[in-house]
């Protein structure tokens, strides 16, 4: 019986070691990103307001920003320094929001 347990533990250890390369960068927590390139084709690196240089989380880009048949206008400045009519449209363009209000040049 002890020999079977030892073999099982060795097998589990080898399995875990082979999975290490799939875990990614150990300095960056799983599920986080810093750029859109680290996300899927229809995703972007979503970050909190005014956190453009920080890590974010890959989220799906909105396909539709229409509310009750119209676009809600609440201007925001994106992390790409472009103005958008609202945060949804910024996310659809693949950028997070730097701050509320239009960007100033």
User: Which range, 1-5, 8-12, 50-54, has the best average confidence (pLDDT)?
Assistant: 50-54
Q: What does the pLDDT read at residue 95?
A: 97
Q: What is the DSSP string of 59-85?
A: EEPPS--EETTEE----EEETTS-EES
DSSP assignment of 29-41 equals -TTEESSGGGS-T
pTM for the structure as a whole: 0.70
Write the DSSP assignment of 79-95 as a string of letters: TTS-EESSHHHHHHTT-
d(CA 12, CA 49): 43
Q: What is the pLDDT of residues 25-83, one digit of tens each?
A: 455 666 799 999 999 999 999 999 999 999 999 999 999 999 889 999 999 999 999 99
């Amino acid at each position: 019986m002890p020999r079977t347990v030892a073999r099982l533990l060795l097998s589990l250890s080898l399995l875990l070691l082979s999975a290490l390369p799939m875990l990614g960068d150990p300095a960056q927590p799983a599920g986080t990103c810093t750029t859109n390139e680290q996300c899927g084709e229809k995703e972007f690196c979503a970050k909190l307001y005014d956190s453009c240089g920080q890590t974010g989380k890959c989220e799906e880009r909105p396909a539709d920003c229409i509310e009750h048949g119209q676009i809600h206008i609440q201007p925001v400045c994106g992390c790409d320094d472009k103005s958008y009519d609202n945060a949804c449209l910024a996310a659809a363009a693949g950028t997070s929001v730097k701050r509320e209000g239009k960007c100033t040049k």
